[in-house]
Structure 1
């Protein structure tokens, strides 16, 4: 051990104490000595990751130094200890900064929880872990995610009574208190341990655990993260300090994501309420529809309503903008189109002309695209008009092609909108697909490539599914947007995942 004078020892302790309060640079500036001590200029081994510079070099290194300099190698002074300590602090701060930056780049709860587990495992020196997210009621879903643990392993852990597990004690504690971390250094030597927990630990092959609460005064208690060691161990004091700082930042980040997720769910619920709750039943045609909500709540919509004399009105559209105000405008526009369709649905151009006039008078700062089709299923006759909207797609066993519609501007873009209608006749067993341009934007491709992808997806529908419009819609969406969940409203990851998607299918007998 180095023989450090008392005065120098006091200075080092003061530096360490003040650095905790004011930061590395300020502590150095306040405690800098008036003169340059000789010990600060004494040569010492450089700081290398994984190597303690206070440990003497090997005999070969000492011999080489002696060959170049006959004099003895000077002893390492207190200045080297201070530099080593500062280098360790800087390294810890750099590591913490990099890990928090990676966490800040996560945009979903699942990604954030997995990043939390990976970073925490690196900080405490563990290999496996799990996080149990149980926010207060109404703030978000309960989630359990593992690192290096399969679903069956998490199920084994859940068989242990919560009161016997460290994460259970943290979660079930007083809600108003911020619990501390719980370390179990050796599960098999702890006589007070529940035998069921020891049995599960032996089955999963871990011998120690460290549980960190995910709780702050601002965010409250959101959950707990637990890391597991293969051998008896527990994190050092320095590791506990770092993972504690990281855990507080992660808790605040998770709280923000929970709030964002709750806002998205509210927008999705509002969108569902503004769209048809069920599709009408009209002889000679079968209908199916799907809607995918984006994170910001767009204004894309669809509608289907029975008309006099066995006719059917089909419509899709999109209002510019996003958020609650756009959803409100979309609801008003859809309700107005239904009224115009009942009055003059056999003339789609007149329906869209009335809708354009209403939009200019009530929503002068907005524009909208729309497509309305007047269908007579008994005659298999469709008359449609579009205002800046994407053309329908006809698909069947003999053909898959886009309907040729005339070029037209969106509603609200011109002083007076007008465009000719188009009439076509679907063959028996063919399906007409009406969709929003959000489907094309979500692909991330150019419009030409997106249209080609949509055409290929419709042409590739298996023959056994072509008589089921719901199966046709699901196949097309899953092909154009791989990984999308068509069972209900939800987000799809991709370059354009902020866009809503709607698709309406009509199969003609």
Structure 2
């Protein structure tokens, strides 16, 4: 038996059965003493982190020591325990590779956004193949998108230069076009020594300073081809067989994760498109009033909505509201509610209470399990007068040179909560240059603050609008969003929709 500590021997005996293709067991037979029992027929080692345990032997294996050595003092002395060193070295390399792959895949599965996952694939692949730069071309074979190119160590201008190379001359282009011979990847160990290299490719490679590349397809049996990953070397080089095997295992797992994130991305984009299509494509132009709107939809699609509707007698109807829930059902309910409110506003818009009463009756009869908040305002731009009513909705905010205050509205329940809804309306007379801000409670919820602090933050943001921006409702809306929701929280994924509708009287 080899002179290996007992704990090491257990691991060797357990794991080496999976190494027949690595030549380790052959080495054991060669060096094992005659007459000793064969203890290497243990069960196969389990998979680690979803990675197949049949990893080739590490390239850094120690060469066998000579069988005997001569010294000046006497006859030949048997060499030290060469088989034990050989096995320990190979086992250490194998476990090291599995640990590396486990750590890289763990980092990958923690990414929740498609762009972040693509960057992680580039970084991990570069570490495995020994490259410094690279790019991922995402182009799903089903043609449904999204199509994008993300670089590692490459600026947008560098990616632009690469895109000027004819598609068929680039290895990732051949993979994306499904040309034969690219299924297992494409190696270009020395671009400038390669016969038939496209002149434009040669020029771009010299300009960007890379001399070799290694390209792998991103594809799964279920999702098909998703794209291709390319790693670039500064000098002529190519990954050795072991590096190719390891990066192949990693890319196989990474592509499955990318396919899942791609479906999530498509669902989010579809929900956002549905929500946007159910809202006005543009705001109307009305004499005496300027309008601006900002709408942010959550990743699952929400029920916040707005409307601006020209009415008879040069009037204008403004509405904002929110339907409970999220997802396709909430988006569909929002569309039905908005369409119904438009009809009621045309018939009796000068009476906001009647409009909301009709809307409440419709909601209670057609969707008894759902509730909604809404605010409708009947605006007369020539008189700078607004008559409004709200059903469980946040109060409007009036922004002017001499005042910034919330409009006092009566306390009322949301639509669908009571057997019969009714609340008094409120009249407001604005001065020239003042802006009325209508918004949904998603603006307050995204702050993460208690309600009173969120209202205070909104008031402070409105009062702090610079004088130079007060003539432009678009600038006012942008300033308030950036101030109330700093650090990009107005764009980040959130379960809450946001609607901000600004109406400025001239």
TM-score per shorter chain, which class?
Answer: 0.7 to 0.9
- 1:503 is matched with 500
1:392: Cα distance to partner? Answer: 0.9
- 2:242 is matched with 238
Deviation track 1:286-336 (CA, whole Å, cap 9, x = no partner) reads 222222222111011111223333332211000011111111111111122
- 1:262 is matched with 266
CA contact (8 A) 1:139 1:258 kept: no
Bigger shift: 327-336 or 348-357? Answer: 348-357
Q: Tell me the distance in 2 between the aligned counterparts of 1:354 and 1:212.
A: 61
- 2:130 is matched with 125
- 2:168 is matched with 163
Deviation track 1:64-83 (CA, whole Å, cap 9, x = no partner) reads xxxxxxxx998235344334
**Residue 476 (structure 2) pairs with residue 461 (structure 1):** no
1:483: Cα distance to partner? Answer: 6.7
Residues 434-449 of structure 1: pairs in structure 2 closer than 5 A: 434-449=438-453
C-alpha change, 1:283 and 1:203, in structure 2 (3 Å) is closer
Pairing partner for 1:415 from 408, 412, 419: 419
Pairing partner for 1:141 from 126, 146, 151: 146
TM (norm. structure 2) is: 0.81
CA contact (8 A) 1:140 1:261 kept: no
Q: Tell me the distance in 1 between the aligned counterparts of 2:41 and 2:131.
A: 45
C-alpha change, 1:350 and 1:190, in structure 2 (3 Å) is same
1:281: Cα distance to partner? Answer: 3.1
- 2:285 is matched with 281
- 1:335 is matched with 339
**RMSD, aligned α-carbons:** 3.2
Q: Give the secondary-structure state (helix, strand or coil) at the position aligned to 2:491.
A: coil
CA contact (8 A) 1:178 1:221 kept: no
- 2:118 is matched with 113
Deviation track 1:232-272 (CA, whole Å, cap 9, x = no partner) reads 22212221112112212222222222222222222222222
Q: Tell me the distance in 2 between the aligned counterparts of 1:14 and 1:307.
A: 82
Q: Tell me the distance in 1 between the aligned counterparts of 2:392 and 2:479.
A: 26
- Unaligned runs of 5+ residues in structure 2 are 3-11, 24-37, 43-57, 65-76
CA contact (8 A) 1:268 1:293 kept: yes
Q: Tell me the distance in 2 between the aligned counterparts of 1:97 and 1:456.
A: 49
- 2:53 is matched with none
1:178: Cα distance to partner? Answer: 6.7
Q: Give the secondary-structure state (helix, strand or coil) at the position aligned to 2:191.
A: coil
Size of the aligned set, in residue pairs, is 455
- 1:66 is matched with none
C-alpha change, 1:278 and 1:165, in structure 2 (3 Å) is closer
Deviation track 1:428-484 (CA, whole Å, cap 9, x = no partner) reads 101101111122223333333333332233233333332222232233223333476
Q: Tell me the distance in 2 between the aligned counterparts of 1:344 and 1:79.
A: 92
Q: Tell me the distance in 1 between the aligned counterparts of 2:22 and 2:295.
A: 56
1:123: Cα distance to partner? Answer: 1.2
Q: Tell me the distance in 2 between the aligned counterparts of 1:394 and 1:337.
A: 24
C-alpha change, 1:34 and 1:160, in structure 2 (3 Å) is closer
Q: Tell me the distance in 2 between the aligned counterparts of 1:189 and 1:12.
A: 43
Q: Tell me the distance in 2 between the aligned counterparts of 1:12 and 1:299.
A: 56
Residues 11-410 of structure 1: pairs in structure 2 closer than 5 A: 15-17=18-20, 32-33=39-40, 54=62, 75-136=80-141, 138-174=143-179, 179-410=183-414
Deviation track 1:324-364 (CA, whole Å, cap 9, x = no partner) reads 11111111111222233233333322322222222222111
Bigger shift: 100-109 or 139-148? Answer: 100-109
Q: Tell me the distance in 2 between the aligned counterparts of 1:188 and 1:332.
A: 63
1:417: Cα distance to partner? Answer: 2.9
1:88: Cα distance to partner? Answer: 2.7
CA contact (8 A) 1:183 1:234 kept: yes
CA contact (8 A) 2:174 2:182 kept: no
Q: Give the secondary-structure state (helix, strand or coil) at the position aligned to 2:499.
A: strand
CA contact (8 A) 2:175 2:182 kept: no
- 2:9 is matched with none
- Unaligned runs of 5+ residues in structure 1 are 3-8, 21-30, 36-49, 57-71, 486-490
CA contact (8 A) 1:54 1:76 kept: no
C-alpha change, 1:89 and 1:420, in structure 2 (3 Å) is farther
Q: Give the secondary-structure state (helix, strand or coil) at the position aligned to 1:309.
A: coil
1:51: Cα distance to partner? Answer: 13
